[in-house]
Each structure stands twice: as C-alpha cells, then as structure tokens.
Amino acid sequence: PHYGAGKAAMIQLTKYFASYLGPENIQVNCVSPGAFPSDKVREKEGFEGELRRRIPLERVGEPQDLAGAFVFLSSAASNFVTGHNLVVDGGWTIR
C-alpha cells in the first residue's frame, strides 16, 4: 500500500507543480517506469521469463527504453506537455 500511495502522491505533486509553474513557462512531468530489473535480479532462475509473460510487449525494459522517455521530455518535442505522467512499462498497467 505504501508504494501505491507514494506513486499517487508523486503524480498529484507533478500536476500541482505543473499548474503552479506553468505561468512561468516551466514544464513539470514525471516518468513511471515498469520492470527494469538489474543484472542481479535477472540471474534468478525463471524470474525474467515469468515477468515477460506478464508484459504485453513480452520483454523487460532496457535502459534505452527509459532514456527515450527522458530525451523526449527534455527536448523541444515536448514543449506543450506538462502535468503528465509518462508510463514506460511495456503495457504492464493495461493488463
């Protein structure tokens, strides 16, 4: 329950600060990553296969997947994006 409450608070704070800082032309967004297991976690037998079965894209996240979200939010391509929670989870949350 603590994780969910913390995540909800982060998203709500993002929206609050986006609204508050918008008049100053400051954008505020957050990124919610899905499964990006460390090498140590990947070593556990069967873990990655089970995780892949639960993700619609049938793979776990790689660093470049998460980096793409940050590059987008840091670029001019996102100049009109604020108060958004960008979910980078391979579709985990749609199941």
Active site residues: 3
CA 81 to chain centre: 15
8 A C-beta contact, residue 16 and residue 51: no
Q: How many CA atoms lie within 13 A of 28 on its CB side?
A: 16
The secondary element (H helix, E strand) that includes residue 87 is strand 85-88
8 A C-beta contact, residue 82 and residue 30: no
